[in-house]
Structure formats: structure tokens, C-alpha cells
Structure 1
Amino acid sequence: MPVPVWVREHGSVDIAMDIAYIPSPSRGVLYLGPIPLRAYAFCIIIGVVVAVWLGSKRWVARGGAKHTVGDIAVWAVPFGLVGGRLYHVITDHQLYFGDGKNPWKAFAIWEGGLGIWGAIAFGAVGAWIGCRRRGVPLPAYADAIAPGIALAQACGRWGNWFNQELYGKPTTLPWGLEIHKVESDGTVIDGVFHPTFLYESLWCIGVALLVIWADRRFTLGHGRAFAVYVAAYTVGRFWIEYLRIDEAHHILGLRLNDWTSILVFIGAVVYLVIVGKKHPGREAPDSIDPAAHGDEVTQSVDDKVDTPVADATPERTDNGSGTPA
């Protein structure tokens, strides 16, 4: 992680810690023999599992087949990881390219650096491919998975805690985050900062609950539940971004991610209004997942019990001479 802007401008940080603050882990990786087990990766994996689990429950409740969300996630997750890393590398290219930089570090995803904007954009492309293969509409899938994505982000942010990165400005608040580290250039960072990872994690949990409530209250469909997630997340990201001191590009005094949040928020609200007028309510259950109907048909056929067909020829009751036997 580069030296934070605030630290570069004010020198090394050494804030007295007379009260209990949130501690940072002493290490973010454990070794199983020669194999490194990185906490950052585990946080992402846990987030994916939570998103697929909750998304599957919501998809089935909407009338879909129980394996559809997982099948589509096989496409969405790899695309999302690639997109998140690409967005980070492109917007923070100065960290990897130029004099004294190691471009191979751009592939070191375990050291942190995933941009949510790129992850959602590329993840949507992967989800679209998966939806096409399954024959389900992408907006309906997005609605089902939306709160799960928010919870996945909540889990993933704890990876920043293990890596001691993306913290905020110095603070004396009782929930401040202790940071003890020495940067690659020798800069000593020893102080208490805003735990922006925790702020965003809690905000994402709130966003997930908001989407679930709004979806039930207003019977959202056709991608509107996903739009609520996007709009609510960008509001939180805007004010949390203001607290961060890691290096970032600025445009007219605002960090790049602030401008991205503004534009994405406007797009989400416009989508909500337009689609809400065109397609009020939610998709019919039998229209979102052909696999669910197919499973029912297969089950009904398998459950049938073969019954003998009665002989059309009546049984003879005489002795052949026309008199009863």
C-alpha cells in the first residue's frame, strides 16, 4: 500500500493511545507449510458464499430453481474479480507503472486492490452470459442477488483490516483503528485512524437490510431491487470516501470515487423511476426460470406409478358351450 497522502504531508504519525482502540492484526497471512493462507482471500471467499446462499433463497422464493444462482455465479464471480482488479490498476496505475515500480505487482491481488465499480460492471457481463445460458432474465437475477452482493462487500472489507490498508484520517474517537506498520520506503505509521473498512462494512449490512425490506414492501422487480442497492451503496461510499487518506486521483477537489458515486447514484435513481413506470410490480414466477418448471415436470413424470392396463377382452365365464361354467 502506498504511503497515505496525510502521512506524506504531515510526516510520520505517532498518536498517543491512552484508551482502548480497535487493534489491527499482527499479520494477514498464515502458512500451511509452504502454502500461504491469506485472510484477504478468505474474506472474499466468505462474501461469495454468503451472496450465493442468500441469492439462492431469494431466487427460489421468486419461483426459480435452487441451483440457478450458483450456476450463474460460476460466470459472474471470475468476471467480477477480473473487473475489480482492472478498475483498480487503471485508476491507480501510478502504483504499478513508472520509475521504480514493479508492473508485476498489478497481478498481486492478494495484497488488496479491488475496485467495486469494475467488479460490478464485469460481474454483470459474466452474469449476463450465465443468464443467457440458463434462459433467465438478467434483471430478475440481479434483484435476487442484490442484498447478497451488499453482504459480500461487508465481508470483503474485513480483508482491508487484515492488510492494514484503506483507513481514514487520524482520530481520537474510542472506535479508532490502531495502525502499526513500516512502509516500503521506511515511513513509520503508528497511530489511530478512522476505521473506514468498518464503516463501509456496517453500511453494506444496512444496505442489504434496506433492499430486503423495500423489495417486500413495494414488490420490486425488473431490476429495481438492484437499483435500490446501487443507490444506497453509493450514498455511503460518498461520505466514507471523504474520510480516506490513501492516494487517489482528484477532480475539482473530489476524489475519483466520489464522482463515480455521484454518477452511478443518478443512473440508479433514473432507472428506478423509468422502469417503475414501465414495469410496475414483479415478474411472474413462471417467467423467470424455465428450469424450475422443467424440474417440476420431470418430477411429476418420475413420481408416476406404472399401473397395469386392463385387458379389453372380457373374461370368459362359460365352458365354451355357451352355458355358465
Structure 2
Amino acid sequence: MTAESIRLCIKRKDNPKNSRLLYLHHKGFNTIDCLQEYTKLEGNNNDSHYLGFTDRPEELAHLPRPPTFGQVLSMRGNALCASGHYRKLVVSKNHALLSLDKRDICSEERQCCAAWGCAVDGGGSFDDADAAGRRALQEIKTKRMKTNAKKRSEIFSDSSSRHWSGSRVMGIIKGSIGCSREVEQLRKVVEDQRLEIYRLKDQMTKSEPTTGPIGEGENWDRSCDTDSADSEQDCGYSLEDNQRMAERANAKLVARLERDDALRRLEGRSTQSKTRQEGGKSSDLSRAVCCSKSAGLENIDTFSLKPPLPPKV
């Protein structure tokens, strides 16, 4: 670290003595020297040089230690990952490790790796260590099965509440049912609800009419008679309705025919008045024409061809 090398690192080269910052990091300097002329320095961005003054590894204990230090480790790309039994070795040596290479470490894996590490440290081969790990895993499974069997026996031990095992299991899981007294209360409530349902069903069946099977009993014959009478009465009502509708249609037809006759009479009167004004024998001709037009009609009115009366004032 010389004056020339420092001059190359400063930012302002015109007046180096007034420089406040020196960018000396990542330059590979082993010692710091030749900085006597730089009296206005505020920082040199070389804080990592403090590690160069450590002579013993024990001094590293004074460095700040984060709370999660040593719990998460990622060694991807390291040559150690290619070696055999890498994960077992790392987990067995680091008891505080929680995640290795973005993969969590469970309690079962930790116990198996601990058994494997003890076998290796005791001077055994890797095969013996693998066998010890398998034995530890089998012990864990056996212990878990015994615990589950004990819990099941506690749940189904009461023979009187065997029918209510499902609700009791759910109650134990949720923490709502903790003693046999609550189970008895629940049983009474369910029994009362069941009796109430049966009572309502009986009332519904009593309110409905009871009829015997086909061809048996007086009730069945009486029901058949009432059904036939109802059907005949319905048919009578429908015939009367049809008759009324036919009468209404006939009345409408008669009214329309009368209206047409009135229109024809008016046409005849208008033609008769015109012919009378012209004089001559036009009145007789119009009478003949009107008679020829109405020759096919029935009930011809004879006074319809008379001249109209003058209006009243």
C-alpha cells in the first residue's frame, strides 16, 4: 500500500488531500499505510480489515451472533455434497440445524442421524451405522403404534358408550367432552329428539285416511263409490259448461246475422232514395234489385222497403 496506489483509488485526483472517502476495499491490501497526508478522511469503506488483526480463532466469539445462526444451512455446489452420507453426517454434527439445502429436518430424521453418527464415532463401518439408523427408525414406529393403540383403547374402553364412539371421539378432539357425565347428557338429548320424531310421525299417519287393500273391506268399496260419484259429478259440470258455451256462441252468431241484415237494409234505403230523386221507374227497379238480393233470406221484413220517415224536430 503506497502513495501511488492510494492516489489511484481516490475519486478526486485534482486535490487528493481534501478527499473525504477512499475506496480501498476489494484491492487486496494486507496492511494499512501511507495515510498520514489524508487528514480529512471520514471513512475508507474498508471495515473488513478488522479481521486481519485477529491472531486467535477464539476472538471470533466476540463478533455479533444472530439468533438464527446455525439453524439454516445451504451447501449446494460444495464438493462435500457429492460425498456419500453427506446429509447424515451434517445433521448428526449440527444439533441446532433445522433446515439443510432448503429441506426441513424432522425429529425422526434427527434421531436416526444421531444413531448413525454414534455408530460411526464408535469406530463402526458405514454398514453398521446404516443398520443402527434403521433400528432407530423401527423403534420410533413401534413407539408411535403403541401410543396410538393406547389412545384408541382409552376412547373405546367404555362399553356403555360404544354406540356413541363417533361423537365422543370428536368431542375429545375438540375438547368439548371430557367426562362421562357430559356423554350421558348428550345421550339423553338425542333420545328425546328421537322420541319426538316418532311422535310426529304417528300424528301424521293418524291424520291421513286409512284404506284397505284392493278388493277387501267396506272402506275400500265406499271409497270406490265416492270416486265414481265424484267423476260423474265432474262430467256433469263439464257438460253444463259446454252447453253454456254453445248457447253463447249461438247468441253471438244471431247478433252478427241481425247486424248484417240491418246493414243490407240501410244499403237498400240509400239506393231507393237515389232512384226516387232521379224519377221514373227507378224505384221499381231498386225494389226489384233489393228483392232479388234478399230472395234467399228467411223472414224478410216487408216494411223495410218503405221510404224513411222524416226526422222529428
| TM-score computed with the length of structure 2 as normaliser | 0.20
State which structure, 1 or 2, has the greater radius of gyration over its C-alpha atoms: 2
Of Structure 1 and Structure 2, the greater strand share is in: 1
Of Structure 1 and Structure 2, the greater helix share is in: 2
